[in-house]
Structure 1
Amino acid sequence: MHRIALFGIDLLAVSLLVFGLYFPRHRRRDLVVAYLGVNIGVLAVAGSLSSSTVGAGLGLGLFGVLSIIRLRSTELDQHEVAYYFSALALGILGPLSDGEAWLGPALMALILLVMYLGDHPRLFSSYQRQVLVLDAAYTDRTTLVAQVERVLGARVHSVAVERVDLVNETTVVEVRFSRARAGDLVEAGQ
């Protein structure tokens, strides 16, 4: 497949990733620029190095270092990291798939499909994560879990205590929980 066509497929794929999947689901505008910039930057460097004697390994190594710096510079949720690396992978696949005409576009489609399914709003929609500040100092785990379940009105799967302040009588916890849906109550026989 002609190199320009592969670049065009990459632009289409990253547009679908960013404007079709990420932004409509998460609405974080600042990461739109980051995903597009990373993709186009990797595409440009991988495209120029794939035909040179320097090799793509050096270019990919440089972007690996840059991505580590970028990921450490601001707090990203895990799904945002997944989109970040998907944008990177799409940029790499375009210029480096000249040998097999179908392989690059097929792998790009696979990345988009996995991101569509893995980040679908209906997948595990009742499972949530939240940080709570409770107005009492809980040192007993059983009492803590019971109180968090009462406050949230949900089934708690895990509680990680971040801080217990005995002076000010507060407890900060990270909670992973699920809220029962109507179908879940029927299935459970409740």
Structure 2
Amino acid sequence: MIPVVLIAIDLAAISLLTFGLYFPRHRRRDLVVAFLGVNVGVLAVSMVLGSSTIGAGLGLGLFGVLSIIRLRSDEIAQHEVAYYFAALALGLIAGLSAAGTTISPLAIALMALILLVLFVGDHPNLYGRYRQQTIRLDQAFLDEGQLADHLGLLLGARIRSVQVRELDLVNDTTLVDVRFQTSIAGSLRHEELPLDRIAR
């Protein structure tokens, strides 16, 4: 009975994480499948390992290997990495807790804590006016002060940080990573902006 309850708790938690937090905020459908698959897969494997003589140590080692694998076909943003590991952690906590004779209040509290941290940390109102953008300018800027002034006028925002990624004096272009603060917290989040923007 305990494993069934924990499976239900895990499914409720991953559903809240995916359909209540991630998708309404970021609208990326392919990662919905990834989060659900990772969570349920980790839950199943950890329940089997936790109930066998292999032990949880090997399982944790396997998940450690999994955590360093990065699929080169599609790059994911840092906030998506956080959701990815949250989905993994929820399944791992629920799966390993299923080996006990009672439902651990600590396990439930930790699962709730994961959801709470992502709810607060990824909330649109938390530093909602701050943006990050990679921009390719059709002018080579040697002076960083002049570059910051130009970006401030271009973006209509207060420039917080500028890092020159590429300076091409032959083609007269500058590729910069800029962090800036807008006057009003808009609905368009920085991760939804295009990767490269050409200013002309």
Determine if the TM-score, normalized by the shorter chain, exceeds 0.5. Answer: yes
Distance 1:73 1:101 in 2: 39
1:109 to 102, 109, 112: 112
Distance 2:127 2:141 in 1: 29
Q: Is 1:131 paired with 2:121?
A: no
2:133·2:177 contact (CA, 8 Å) conserved in 1?
yes
2:2·2:103 contact (CA, 8 Å) conserved in 1?
no
Stretches of structure 2 that go unaligned for 5 or more consecutive residues are 186-200
Stretches of structure 1 that go unaligned for 5 or more consecutive residues are 183-190
Q: Is 1:59 paired with 2:62?
A: no
- Aligned residue runs from structure 1 range 19-168, under 5 A: 19-70=19-70, 74-97=74-97, 98=100, 101-168=104-171
2:176 to 165, 173, 184: 173
TM-score between the two structures when normalised by the length of structure 2: 0.86
Taking structure 1 as reference, are residues 73 and 61 closer, same or farther at Cα in structure 2, changes over 3 Å only?
farther
Taking structure 1 as reference, are residues 181 and 170 closer, same or farther at Cα in structure 2, changes over 3 Å only?
same
Which residue of the partner structure matches residue 17 of structure 2? 17
Distance 2:73 2:154 in 1: 34
Higher helix share: 1
Distance 2:133 2:59 in 1: 39
2:42·2:95 contact (CA, 8 Å) conserved in 1?
no
Structure 2 residue identity aligned to 1:34: A
Cα-Cα RMSD: 1.6
1:6·1:105 contact (CA, 8 Å) conserved in 2?
no
Structure 2 residue identity aligned to 1:126: R
What's the secondary structure of 1:103's corresponding residue?
Answer: helix
